[in-house]
Structure 1
């Protein structure tokens, strides 16, 4: 069904921008003139149309949203934000899978705002310079991984050393991979070499910290739908999504707006609330 109201809202940049301007509060005609680079007489027909819809009302020299105005404009902002996010990186969104994100956050994906698509130079998000610098400068770090990265044990140890508040969620498959790494045959030919043997001993020790049943920083996610990685620091959110074919691509999202950080916190809490602490699993004997 064609909506005349949609035409009123979206077929005129002046009307659309005026509604968004009034969303911040009542404005005088002088404030409107100053905010828009248009002759006032060209704005009068647009204002009259908005007054006719009942979304805007005039009292003296002041204009404000009225009735359903705030609700309509709030939803209009969400739609415009979503379209802008999609349009800025259309190829990325077309090629990546979003079903791993919970529906209530997919519906609010506009909150990511001005995200950038960054080339993933190495396989692990942890090794990206900008991300790593942010992690080490933060007071709190939240991590989620669907696959086990070999650098994670040493990375976790470094966070502990720096007294950075840490929460790490790993998928059940990644947890099992860690167990296998820890139980790897000590008699393998490679480990008989003294250098490799020493390195592996240190690696086993750090991996054991992650799997320690007393560890309350580590959670195991047992769900089936999950992104490749999510990383949240004090000043950035990084998200690695799988491609539509289920294969990891060489790109990740980098978001730094306050709304994006809040969105990322909710995403992490969603996965954490559907996870189990590693202390609930069988402890692995070294």
Structure 2
């Protein structure tokens, strides 16, 4: 019985679409056909299968989910969203260290929604990917967490902060040490700007970087081998922006703000 019910739920795309439609509310057969763009015979076959399992009921000319099915379908959506995020960029997720993401946020990875892998052109491999840099310059604020050092970042973020874009960057101790040793004047300039905020995380950061603004979210992970390649998963979904904000706040809570006196 259990395997039959699971098959009923997952083995047909039409059934899945029908269940997701009915979670929004009861529909008559004409509304179902129009919304799903199907024929009567095709959809009635699926309806009968779902009704035989007690998943759909028919009352007063309307089809609707049973009480239990409503519970089931609400739990289906996050799974389907997670599968979609994974399938769209399967190679990236398979080959990178997902354990670097805090566990409570990894469980919400479906919030990335529609995302894409971005990387710089071959002639600017050590610079920010152009799409990411262009999006940064269109943002009202920038919040980043980074455990690796890129020579491209200090200049870009000083430039953004000078233009009145609120830039907050959390780095690890090794990155901060390098900023002090190799970019001391630039680091001092940044923290003394009205819109420049630098923090050092007091605990280990295992992801390469995370950038969230009011426009986009970008996440860059190390390969499972520990190697870093300058590319990231980028999303413009509202849910992804919220996810990125929560990730930033996770590290901000365990970070110390840097002032001119610390450099």
Normalised by the length of structure 2, the TM-score is 0.88
Deviates more, 1:107-116 or 1:56-65: 56-65
* Per-residue deviation, residues 139-192 of structure 1 (Å, max 9, x unmatched): 11111211233343333322221111222111122112222225xxxxxxxxxx
Q: Which residue of 1 aligns with 2:209?
A: 229
Mapped to 2, the partners of 1:151 and 1:37 lie a distance apart of 50
* Per-residue deviation, residues 170-227 of structure 1 (Å, max 9, x unmatched): 1122112222225xxxxxxxxxxxxxxxxxxxxx432213466x99722211222421
Mapped to 2, the partners of 1:139 and 1:266 lie a distance apart of 18
Mapped to 2, the partners of 1:29 and 1:208 lie a distance apart of 67
Q: Structure 2: any 5+ residue segments left out of the alignment?
A: none
Q: Structure 1: any 5+ residue segments left out of the alignment?
A: 183-203
- 1:68 Cα deviation (Å)? 2.8
2:143–2:167: 8 Å Cα contact kept in structure 1?
yes
1:215–1:278: 8 Å Cα contact kept in structure 2?
no
Mapped to 2, the partners of 1:109 and 1:88 lie a distance apart of 13
Aligned counterparts, 1:236-247, within 5 A: 236-247=216-227
Q: How many residues align?
A: 261
2:167–2:197: 8 Å Cα contact kept in structure 1?
yes
2:191–2:197: 8 Å Cα contact kept in structure 1?
no
CA 1:266–1:158: 2 relative to 1, 3 Å: same
1:143–1:232: 8 Å Cα contact kept in structure 2?
yes
Q: Which residue of 2 aligns with 1:193?
A: none
Answer yes or no: is 1:144 the counterpart of 2:145: yes
Q: State which structure, 1 or 2, has the greater radius of gyration over its C-alpha atoms.
A: 1
Instruction: Please state whether the residue corresponding to 1:152 is helix, strand or coil.
Output: helix
Mapped to 1, the partners of 2:152 and 2:90 lie a distance apart of 32
Mapped to 2, the partners of 1:119 and 1:232 lie a distance apart of 17
1:240–1:252: 8 Å Cα contact kept in structure 2?
yes
Q: Which residue of 2 aligns with 1:265?
A: 245
Deviates more, 1:97-106 or 1:267-276: 267-276
Q: Which residue of 2 aligns with 1:61?
A: 61
1:211–1:283: 8 Å Cα contact kept in structure 2?
no
Identify the structure with bigger relative contact order (alpha carbons < 8 Å, sequence gap 6+): 1
Mapped to 1, the partners of 2:117 and 2:107 lie a distance apart of 20
- 1:130 Cα deviation (Å)? 1.5
Mapped to 2, the partners of 1:64 and 1:73 lie a distance apart of 12
